[in-house]
Structure 1
Amino acid sequence: MTRLVFPAMVLASAIALSVPAPLVAAPPSLTTWLFAEGSTNGAFGFEEEILIGNPNAVPVVVTFELFTQDGQALAPITRTVPARARFTESVRQLAGDRAGIALKLTSALPIVAERTMYWGGGLFRPEVKGYRGRVSDMRGGHSEHGTDEGARTWYFAEGEGKFFNTFISVANPGDTPANVVVSYRDDTGTEVKQAEVVPPHARRTFWPTAVLSRRLQSGRAGFATIVTSDVDVVAERQMYWGDGAPSGIRGGHAAMGVSTPALTWLFAEGIQGSLTPGGDPSFDTFVLLFNPSTGPIDVTVEFFGQAGVKLAQVVRTVEAGARGGVWAKELPALANQAFSIRATATVPFVAERAVYWRGLSEGTATAGATEPSRQWGFAEGLQGGFLRYQDDDDDDKRRFNTFFPIYNPGTTAATVTVHFYTEHGDTGVSKTITVPGQSRETIWTLLYDELANRRFATFISSTEPIVVERVVYWGKGNKAGHASLGIPLPDSLTLTAATKLPPAPQVTVREVEPSKGATTGGTEVEIEGTGLGNTELGTQVLFGGVPALRLEVEHDRELKAIAPPHALGRVDITLITRGTTVVLPGAFTYVAPGASGDDDDDEEAGSPAAGTKVEIEPRWGPAAGGTIVNVEVENVLGTVIEPGSQVFFGTAAARVVKVERNEIRVVAPAGAAGKVEVTVVTRGQVVARGVFEYF
């Protein structure tokens, strides 16, 4: 018999959520979703979102109930999710700044629901260009879908009490107090317990690191967890790590517990080493095994690649009440490979899996499925850049990449149809791929231009039972990420394509800044407009016919390009994106190195009053009105904006929201498409003029 011993600093690895089933994956009810974990604690930079996917042909009303750590009762809140759509809700908007929040979602029709959490250095920004507050650097994040019901027992195969900071969140959605006992089992089977009463409609957090850290030795600090209760509860586990842990946070992941051990665990995702030529990022995959039975068990772990190839197989013996596992790095055939995993035994056990960035800068945790399913659902998915997650002062715009690993454990090829639903209601795109038997294939949404710079829910159907996960990366070099198992759906749930394709964005360019740069190249040029596509595919910027040295689409309304070297003079800028070519005649002027490249005349947008410089942010908005606009005035003559000042868009007065010494915030009125003069009036005098464009 063997016992796996991990090196220090990499022992803790792998996590899971599982919905156990008999011969076919038993789908949840899809009308109730429970989450034990959640936080909007600004001290740690926590932001939380609830994502909902509606596969129905009609809108669905969803009720949110929130159970707080501090015991404060919050009134239920309802939201309407459009037909065949994805919906995003900020928990901060529902509950404010709170250390612990559990949730219950209910609906009359089937939906799928997930939770994401991000952290680091600030909070999400209002989606307003020019916002100057601190924005989260999103150094880490995790995701998980809810469970449809509570249970009296929950199992976790992963946990670590030295390098990682582990928490167990327990939510009681019922009307009766729950007497909860949490049992921690180290790698030798030694048990330590904690007990607490969780009030009705409340959440409590257990901190195993605090009670175990002195008992455990580095390199042998792992433990499994069993949560028991006298009434149904919901339990999740979170693990965080980084400089100064347990208080510091760099990376992290979360997982729902497993309510029933099983004979088989299936994972669609796994990666060892790197799949990129530069070798960055590089990953380590772990499979953690917990044996809750009274005798030792042998677990067979198999790894499958593409085209029906079994890459590796290993057997681990796990002692009674103890943990074992597999580190993919120990198997040479898995080096620099992506794979799916199957773990089996003759006695029920619990398995979890995690993928870590080499060096433990970040990690993802995901669930295992006990059986495949012909249909799967995901509420979360996003591709490209979004202003909500970006900081104007940070070069890393945290652009997202979404992947769907698919594992076909059978011997017959599966035809897989994927329906993507965007946030616009009954709008999306459908794709079809083939997955050979005993194989893994991956869908990368970057390849679908219809999804560029969009958020979406995903519903998948297959001719054969399969297992599907979703992995989301973001940031330069895919610096962070999260992963989740899909939600198995019943065959009786009809999945259909959205009736409308995502509206083809009208590609326009509204501003190029700066409009001058040195002939040696290297000037960073911001191009603002609409309808921009993916950075990697289908988008190009040319200066006088010469491609930009570097290009990044930050979101659908802004890109940055590095001007190439060119001879003196004015040149056209050509933008090619989404199959459309836009030529801006003479939009950029090359000047001698060291010559003035200032572009103040262009920046001021309009003809300001004498002695005044005005900045309007944003400088465009929908013709329907409603855009929050900041007008900032620098007046060398001493005139200032003061209470009672007015702002006009053409002849229409804007509603004033806030006035400061040199800045006034207003709500743009409705207007016709095109440019309109903006005037600021103080004491009956025009003190500033600018330009705003309606689209």
Structure 2
Amino acid sequence: MSQRSPALFVSFIVLAVVCASFALLPAAAQQQGPQTNLAALTLTTVTDWEAGVAEGALVTNNAGGEVRLADEQREGSFVSLPFVTDFAFNAVGASWQAEVPEGTGLVVEVRVRDRDDDAEAVWGAWQPLSAIDATTASSDDEGAFVTPAVLAVPATSQALQVRVSFTSEVERASAVLEALTLTYLSTAPPEPIFATGLPRRPLLAGGKTLTPRPAVIPRTDWRGRAEAAQPLRRTPRGLVLHQIDAEVSAATSLDMVRALASYQLDVLGWEDLSYHYVLDPEGNLFEGRLGGPTSLVTRMAAGGDAVHIGVLVPRGGALSPTAQGVLINLMAWLGEAYGIDPTGTHRVTGDAAATDRSNIAGFDTLSNAAPERTSSLDALVPQLRLLTDQSTVRARWYFAEGNVAEYSQRLALFNPTEAETEATVTLVRPGDTPVTSIVRIPANARADLTVNTLLDNALALPAIVESSAPILVERSMSLTTDIDGGPGITELSRVWYFAEGSTEGTQRTFLLLFNPNPVNVQATLIYMQRDGATFAQDVQIAAQSRLVIAVNDITLPDGSLPLLGKNFGVQIVASQPLAAERTMRFGENSSGLHTGRGIATLARRWYFAEGTTQGDFQMHLLVLNPNLQPANVTATFMGPEGEAEVRQFAVPPRTQLAINANAIIPDLGVSSMVTADRPVAVERSLRFNNDAAGTIGTGATAPALRWAFVDGRTSDVTYYLCVSNPDRLPTTVTIDFSFGDGAIGSQSIVVPAGARYTMAVHEIYPDENIVSAIVRSTRPIIAERSLFPGGGVRGGSTNLGIPMP
């Protein structure tokens, strides 16, 4: 053992003391930004090393001074004497120059205490400093190591001490420490500043996502200066979690994040923070590296093609539930925004060979830290992958219409994946607490939820359905005299169109505007009538609520009803995206029912596979021209064998046109195509049972190779699938059916060019309570489904399929 003469304090070589004053906060209460003080001290000469205490270690004058294991020793240590600083500090970082041969080890630790004015002052525990190879982190100096993050210490600390432990598994081999620099920083203001009070903003990077965008504290608000983002970019392929060993509170987390920034930028000289985001125990998420997730990190050996997330949690500590929830939401959003599968892997090319790396990984694991040094966050990563995958929203469906007081209402949910999944159904009750139900959906199968079993007598019941799987959802609403069905809305819009609307005779039209946003929404409705007249209406939809507009009852101040007895289309323009549907009741005692989703995008071409003028069916194509110029429209009706009838029409500006198909192709089953020289909205209306029942359908703007139909049954229901082939070549169509008991079936047909084919599913698979179908074709087609309960006695519904990738 080599022991040096004792001294109360060691004189270190102080390299630099820098004091900088930053204006930190824009808040009025923060008149002057807190100061950031930092200073550094170094051990490098024989004199510096000999001022400390060595046990099993040897100080030599090689390279001007170094410490290593003494001869024949397998373990040893060096402990410096205390160093009293000129100011209280709250964070410590370190760098050192060392040679660490294979089979040897070197661990650097520090401990702190308050100023040594009191002989009874107690040192804190020794805390290890985790370092990375500086050849890839901060310099080109071979053998240099740095701590990428600072160590959080009490803000009253004003004395520190360092301990270096040496180990060796190889005879006469030792790590050699040549120089050690400690940097201590003070970023704590006189009065604590709480991160919870800082401004937030949603992350704007990445593409459109269903998973909610996290809100972050902008860097300019916590750092106090405007800085430029680095130009290097790369699309991230993974997420790397860094546990930053810090025991912080709500009053000190901001100080720690500021210390991280000052250390990495001002001390290490890095071009920017190495963490894209930093999360504290309270769940406050700080914007770190400027430029967003694609900003390339060059200072971490774990790879630049990743998003690096720093998490403030003590080594061995656990994430708080709040922080874990924020972390999972952040990773779920990043995964969806940049195509990173939380449970998947990606290929990484290293120095030796290409390897597969988990898309979500801990930094300690990637940097091959010793098992005893692996962080508690790394141990949690497998669970975080699963939770992130489950929290990623891959499907969201909105239904503006919902009414269990007057209808039987059911949701049909189809899971097209190979694994069972869950869906969350939220029934929004304006002015009351939402009702939530979890529905389990088997793999490649359907599950139904009858809404009336959850609530009754609710006239306003819009719904939101979400899942971590790409599920498909339809809603069925039924009376004893008619039914309606069809898929929900997958994307909110500020603009909606309806080509159909009428208050003529027994017809009543209701427009349903669902606002799921946390703020009120203003909207303007323009009713464009068949005779060219227009009427404007301004409305407000309360936050997270629904507005029902009974068009028949719109009343002017003079008591007149401007839209009574009119036929019209509607344009809706809102201040925020919302969901819009239209419900129409008609016939004696309002026996008929149909609802329809709004049209968010106009088009110059519309396709309809189904249509008929046979029997007492009355078919109309409704065309809305919302443009300020006339639109020239061509309607083409194609029979079962491909024969066609063509008619042309001129539609004046801001006018609705009704094309009576019965007058053009009587007593025929047809598919239809409407083309226009300007973008228009087109719907098809079918009425039957002497106008006591009917259905409405929006056309397809393009053919597709795959169509899905979630709802359907053949028990007491006549079920038709209609396929139209607008191509110039024949196509082979295969329909894959799944049933309630898990059974499957398949049918194949060939549809000639320009022709349509109708399959009577109820004749092939009778008495099935659940029938879902996926239609596949070798060439793009249009596919629709018709359901007639009781053979049409109790009404019917015809719907376009859901296009699938």
What is the TM-score of this pair, normalised by structure 2? Answer: 0.49
- Alpha-carbon distance, 1:225 to partner: 0.8
Structure 1 residues 477 and 155, CA gap change in structure 2 (3 angstroms): closer
Structure 1 residues 376 and 476, CA gap change in structure 2 (3 angstroms): closer
Q: How does 1:101-112 map to 2 (within 5 A)?
A: 101-112=461-472
2: distance between equivalents of 1:183 and 1:467? 31
| Residue number in structure 2 paired with 1:429 | 745
1: distance between equivalents of 2:638 and 2:744? 32
| Residue number in structure 2 paired with 1:167 | 510
Higher share of residues assigned helix: 2
Contact map agreement 2:594 2:694 (CA 8 A) in 1: yes
Contact map agreement 2:551 2:563 (CA 8 A) in 1: no
2: distance between equivalents of 1:60 and 1:53? 10
Q: Does 1:268 align with 2:615?
A: no
| Residue number in structure 1 paired with 2:710 | 379
| Residue number in structure 2 paired with 1:411 | 728
2: distance between equivalents of 1:30 and 1:285? 37
| Residue number in structure 1 paired with 2:576 | 231
- Alpha-carbon distance, 1:479 to partner: 4.3
1: distance between equivalents of 2:709 and 2:531? 38
| Residue number in structure 2 paired with 1:55 | 416
Among 300, 307, 315, which residue is 2:648 paired with? 315
Among 73, 82, 99, which residue is 2:459 paired with? 99
Q: Which runs of 5+ in 1 are unaligned?
A: 1-28, 120-137, 275-281, 385-398, 491-695
| Residue number in structure 1 paired with 2:593 | 252
Among 673, 686, 700, which residue is 1:355 paired with? 686
Q: How does 1:663-674 map to 2 (within 5 A)?
A: none
Contact map agreement 1:354 1:365 (CA 8 A) in 2: yes
| Residue number in structure 1 paired with 2:760 | 444
Q: Quick one: which amino acid aligns to residue 371 of structure 1?
A: A
Contact map agreement 1:151 1:259 (CA 8 A) in 2: yes
Among 341, 357, 373, which residue is 2:672 paired with? 341
Contact map agreement 2:481 2:793 (CA 8 A) in 1: no
Structure 1 residues 142 and 30, CA gap change in structure 2 (3 angstroms): farther
Among 126, 142, 153, which residue is 2:484 paired with? 142
CA-atom RMSD in angstroms:
1.7
Structure 1 residues 476 and 462, CA gap change in structure 2 (3 angstroms): closer
2: distance between equivalents of 1:179 and 1:193? 13
Contact map agreement 1:175 1:200 (CA 8 A) in 2: yes
2: distance between equivalents of 1:52 and 1:489? 15
Q: Quick one: which amino acid aligns to residue 293 of structure 1?
A: N
| Residue number in structure 1 paired with 2:771 | 456
Q: How does 1:151-190 map to 2 (within 5 A)?
A: 151-163=493-505, 164-190=507-533
Contact map agreement 1:62 1:105 (CA 8 A) in 2: yes
Q: The residue matched to 2:796 in structure 1 has which SS?
A: strand
- Alpha-carbon distance, 1:63 to partner: 0.7
1: distance between equivalents of 2:682 and 2:582? 14
Structure 1 residues 104 and 216, CA gap change in structure 2 (3 angstroms): closer
Q: Deviations over 1:639-677 (max 9, x none)?
A: xxxxxxxxxxxxxxxxxxxxxxxxxxxxxxxxxxxxxxx
2: distance between equivalents of 1:75 and 1:359? 39
Q: Deviations over 1:602-637 (max 9, x none)?
A: xxxxxxxxxxxxxxxxxxxxxxxxxxxxxxxxxxxx
- Alpha-carbon distance, 1:335 to partner: 1.9
2: distance between equivalents of 1:367 and 1:477? 21
Q: The residue matched to 1:447 in structure 2 has which SS?
A: helix
Structure 1 residues 56 and 97, CA gap change in structure 2 (3 angstroms): same
| Residue number in structure 2 paired with 1:489 | 804
2: distance between equivalents of 1:249 and 1:320? 32
Q: The residue matched to 1:57 in structure 2 has which SS?
A: coil
- Alpha-carbon distance, 1:358 to partner: 5.3
Contact map agreement 1:52 1:457 (CA 8 A) in 2: no
Q: Does 1:240 align with 2:585?
A: yes
Q: How does 1:204-215 map to 2 (within 5 A)?
A: 204-211=547-554, 214-215=561-562
1: distance between equivalents of 2:425 and 2:552? 31
What percent of counterpart residues are identical?
A: 27
Contact map agreement 2:718 2:792 (CA 8 A) in 1: no
- Alpha-carbon distance, 1:476 to partner: 5.3
Q: Quick one: which amino acid aligns to residue 372 of structure 1?
A: P
Q: Deviations over 1:457-480 (max 9, x none)?
A: 111111000011111001255441
Among 33, 40, 45, which residue is 2:397 paired with? 33
Contact map agreement 2:740 2:768 (CA 8 A) in 1: no
Q: Quick one: which amino acid aligns to residue 693 of structure 2?
A: E
- Alpha-carbon distance, 1:435 to partner: 1.1
Q: The residue matched to 1:290 in structure 2 has which SS?
A: strand
2: distance between equivalents of 1:477 and 1:297? 37
Q: Which runs of 5+ in 2 are unaligned?
A: 1-392
2: distance between equivalents of 1:188 and 1:30? 44
2: distance between equivalents of 1:474 and 1:151? 33
Q: The residue matched to 1:363 in structure 2 has which SS?
A: strand
Contact map agreement 2:587 2:693 (CA 8 A) in 1: no
2: distance between equivalents of 1:73 and 1:316? 50
Q: The residue matched to 2:462 in structure 1 has which SS?
A: strand
What is the TM-score of this pair, normalised by structure 1? Answer: 0.57
| Residue number in structure 2 paired with 1:131 | none
- Alpha-carbon distance, 1:196 to partner: 2.6
- Alpha-carbon distance, 1:111 to partner: 1.4
Contact map agreement 2:586 2:593 (CA 8 A) in 1: yes
Contact map agreement 1:52 1:114 (CA 8 A) in 2: yes
Q: Deviations over 1:91-150 (max 9, x none)?
A: 11233321011111111111111111112xxxxxxxxxxxxxxxxxx2111112111110
- Alpha-carbon distance, 1:52 to partner: 1.2
2: distance between equivalents of 1:442 and 1:453? 19
Structure whose CA Rg is larger: 2
Structure 1 residues 381 and 407, CA gap change in structure 2 (3 angstroms): same
2: distance between equivalents of 1:182 and 1:73? 29
2: distance between equivalents of 1:294 and 1:181? 17
- Alpha-carbon distance, 1:423 to partner: 2.2
Contact map agreement 1:63 1:77 (CA 8 A) in 2: yes
- Alpha-carbon distance, 1:447 to partner: 2.4
| Residue number in structure 1 paired with 2:619 | 285
2: distance between equivalents of 1:77 and 1:380? 19
Q: Does 1:115 align with 2:475?
A: yes
Q: The residue matched to 1:383 in structure 2 has which SS?
A: coil
